[in-house]
Structure 1
Amino acid sequence: MPKLTDSSIRAAKCPAGKTRIEMADSACPGLMLRVTASGVKTFVFRYWSPLLSKTVNLTIGQYNDVDLSDAREKVADHRKEIARDEDPRARKRADRRKAARAEELSFDAFADLYITEYVIGAGGKEALQVFNETGRWPEVADPNKKSWRNDIQYLKRCREEWGRLPAASITDDDVADLLDTIAETAPVSANRTQSVLHKAFKWGKQPGRKYVPSNPLEGLERRGGKEKKRDRVLTDDEIKTLWWGLDKPDVPADREICLAIRFILATMVRPYQAAGANIAELTALGTANALYDMPPGRVKKDRAVLVPLSDVAAAIVDEAIADEEQEVLFPSKFGDGSTPIARASISQALSGKKFGKMVGDKKEDRPGIREFLGMAHFTAHDLRRTAATIARRAGAPRADVKAMLDHVNGDVTEVYDKYDMLPEKRLVVNILAGELRRIISDATVPALAA
């Protein structure tokens, strides 16, 4: 039995007519090199399992991903486990099962695994612990990727959107919706975010991990690249179908999400700004001066923004506040009234979910609101564009609509000009409310105060 060397491993081939061969390493008892007919070379540890009372194999990793010296070190570590009457394969499988439970592994936890195990590598868990304690990432001696801080930064927005959701539940629609939102003002950032997500999901679905069953970015065109700018605007008939469809008793979405969708259409706020609204940020309710006072942390460039509420928007708020103990406008069903719905929950409600619910002993797809209402594809962000379009159509000045959309110029004048344009914006939301009432043709929607 010869000693394995790098040169002998590189030269090893599977003979014609065989599917694979195995080569033992005399320098490390139990270490085997498996070579398949396709040329894949994998290190395997063969040992006697004290738990199963039989010889078993434990895959260590493919050659090049794991070099010969690392494979020998891993075998030495596993032998120490065996000496303690532990089975390394059973322990490894238990760890993977625990981590890979789709309904338990949140996107936040999945992102932590990707960063600590792949992006940083050795020392990653310690670095994460320091971050959790101090809020700052420490210096890392020899990370796997020199740009590891960039990966962390690009995943930040994804965590804000999907943090609490199971990583395995993220769909291509969720990804496209988020990337389109980023690309609206930062196309390069959208492309970088897409690259990081693609790598993360590709890494997470590999054999031996299986943290996620698939990569939702596979085949997805670059959202910030050479693509036609999104210009989807719902027609009047589609707006009416959506508005009243959200009231149907069998609509496949929680009432809080349905109200959040209406709120976006009535205020032009971004979907994550609707999802994250706190009741304490809503002032002068019940008057003509009702406002949504968005704090800096929920606005681009960390600026506070005032969003006037029309009577149509105020009616949505009144219905949403169902409990005097409620802290957020649209509470998650998984919380106690203090946890808002996730922004991604709005996208998933529109898109539906594959294998969403148990029917008997099988999982069946859950249709989305679009499919349920027979509507063509649109995203939550398209509702914002739709609201701006119908307000402009009804005579709202472009500059005032731009202020409602919070599309800032970004020049030096902005530093000095602090006028909030509240009267102009209130005119826009009132024009929008009048158009919505006309489109949905409903006398029960409150008329604007004179």
Structure 2
Amino acid sequence: MSGQTITKSLVDGLEKQASEYTVWDAKLPGFGVRVRPTGAKSFIIVYRAGTGRTAPVRRYTVAAVGKLAPEAARTQAKILLGNIANGADPAAEKRANRPKRDRLTFDELAQLYLDQYAKVRKSSWKNDEGYLKKPRAKWKRRIAAQITDDDVAELLEEIGATAPVGANRTQSVLHTLFSWAKEPGRKHVPVNPVADMRRRYQEAPRERVLNDEEIRTLWWGLNDPDLPAGRPVALALRFILATMVRPGQSAGLLVPELVSFTGEDPQYHIPKNRVKRRREVIVPLNELAVAAVREAVVREDQGAVFCSWTPTATAADASGNETGVKETPRLLPITRDALSAALNGRPAKGKRPARRGIREHLGMAHFTPHDLRRTAATIARRGGAKREDVKALLDHLEGDVTATYDKYDMLPEKRLVASILEAELRNIIGTKPVSRALLPIAGDNVLKIVDVERRIAGL
């Protein structure tokens, strides 16, 4: 396809087809946008490496669509084509700088995958990083191109012995990694050893929804002073139940992402890097969610809303020798994994003692942080919220072409769902009299625990 000026609207409208195709730019010969059967789009240039008709034709990827705007990509292409006219060959230079297949370890390949693919294309790249920890530990110095399907099967068996779902997720990430690694123009590995491998473990559909009694037990149980988890983790779990956001979006909430928080329409603006398909999502906050945030933010400069304190430690110099000076405790954001770890607890291992989880402490059946999101959606529907409005608050995406053009944010409808959810939760949890709780406050270079009296009435 040729004769069209490549613009953002043109690029956004290009749809995947059964085979790869390229749309060439009318303004700059040799510059185009390539669309793969997977739907992936990239700006490319085509040129002859040398002079005369016998010079080989090369293709070179300027950038993935989304990483550069069309105008910026055209400018970069113009610079590259100018260099080519003076004898440069960017495709050859790229191949020369590429790690040699016979020397590239799996650990190096995994890092390349994370840096060049997962972090660029996936808002959930942290999950990929987590699932690659065990493969990286097992195959750290192995040559990536020499890893076989038997190696993969052995690893998945080891993981599946204790975590069958984790084995399936690891298999999926490895499949994506090796597929990416063997693509033309990259070819870090000759084959994908996971390509013909079926899933080894059956997974039951995720259907866990907490009943009213469990919700009540959890809500008030999170106030237990003997709870085997920090207060920020408890509040982050409540925040999921009060908003329907994903666990990572609760743990990752930053203070600057709270918009109109002290006004009549408090909102959580989730940035593109923590949302599927990379676009900002607005979540209206009801009073239960606002209360969790207010309690969690104990300092103006803490950055993240749900933070944990680092323990007091003795500072060390560049040589690692203790200076005798006590370091000031610091606030660090909690992680998505911290929420699961708090619910699960951990078994004893070596000299490390076992730690009870929240579920065991409260005598509750198994559930995950994500199950709180499903529970919130269920009770909102039970309270009369429309299914399509609940779907909007859950940020469940439409998959048809119309979704590309319909950018209405459904904020009024989402506000109504948040209000219905709050009313249903209050009916379930009831009220509780005045209680006392502990809050950490930093001051005078030590961690002080201040007894703060507050009224707990569903907040």
Task: Read off the aligned partner of 2:352 and give its amino acid letter.
Answer: K
Q: Distance in 2 between matches of 1:438 and 1:339?
A: 34
Change beyond 3 A, Cα 1:394–1:205 = farther
Q: Distance in 2 between matches of 1:204 and 1:218?
A: 21
Deviation track 1:334-365 (CA, whole Å, cap 9, x = no partner) reads 39666311111111111012338x9xxx5320
Equivalent position of 2:370 in the other structure: 381
CA contact (8 A) 1:198 1:218 kept: no
Task: Read off the aligned partner of 2:346 and give its amino acid letter.
Answer: K
Deviation track 1:135-173 (CA, whole Å, cap 9, x = no partner) reads xxx6211246799887447768xx99xxxxxxxxxxxxx
**SS of the residue 1:293 aligns to:** strand
230, 235, 243: which is aligned to 1:267?
A: 243
Equivalent position of 2:449 in the other structure: none
336, 344, 347: which is aligned to 2:337?
A: 344
Q: Distance in 2 between matches of 1:285 and 1:320?
A: 14
Change beyond 3 A, Cα 1:202–1:146 = closer
CA contact (8 A) 2:256 2:303 kept: yes
Task: Read off the aligned partner of 2:230 and give its amino acid letter.
Answer: D
Equivalent position of 2:100 in the other structure: 141
Task: Read off the aligned partner of 2:295 and give its amino acid letter.
Answer: E
Equivalent position of 1:435 in the other structure: 424
Change beyond 3 A, Cα 1:437–1:321 = same
Q: Cα offset for 1:373?
A: 0.6
CA contact (8 A) 1:295 1:304 kept: yes
Matched, 1:396 2:332: no
Alignment of 1:103-142 (within 5 A): 139-142=98-101
Equivalent position of 2:209 in the other structure: 233
Alignment of 1:34-45 (within 5 A): none
Task: Read off the aligned partner of 1:252 and give its amino acid letter.
Answer: P
Task: Read off the aligned partner of 1:339 and give its amino acid letter.
Answer: L
297, 319, 330: which is aligned to 1:321?
A: 297
Q: Cα offset for 1:415?
A: 2.1
180, 197, 200: which is aligned to 2:136?
A: 200
CA contact (8 A) 1:394 1:435 kept: yes
- Between structure 1 and structure 2, the one with the greater Rg is 1
Provide the identity percentage.
47
CA contact (8 A) 2:106 2:136 kept: no
CA contact (8 A) 1:238 1:375 kept: yes
**SS of the residue 2:236 aligns to:** helix
Q: Distance in 1 between matches of 2:225 and 2:367?
A: 22
Q: Which runs of 5+ in 2 are unaligned?
A: 1-96, 143-156, 170-198, 312-328, 433-454
Equivalent position of 1:406 in the other structure: 395
Q: Which runs of 5+ in 1 are unaligned?
A: 1-137, 161-180, 207-213
Equivalent position of 1:333 in the other structure: 309
Q: Cα offset for 1:419?
A: 0.8
- The Cα RMSD (Å) is 3.7
TM-score scaled by length of structure 1? 0.54
CA contact (8 A) 2:258 2:266 kept: yes
Matched, 1:220 2:163: yes
Change beyond 3 A, Cα 1:413–1:334 = farther
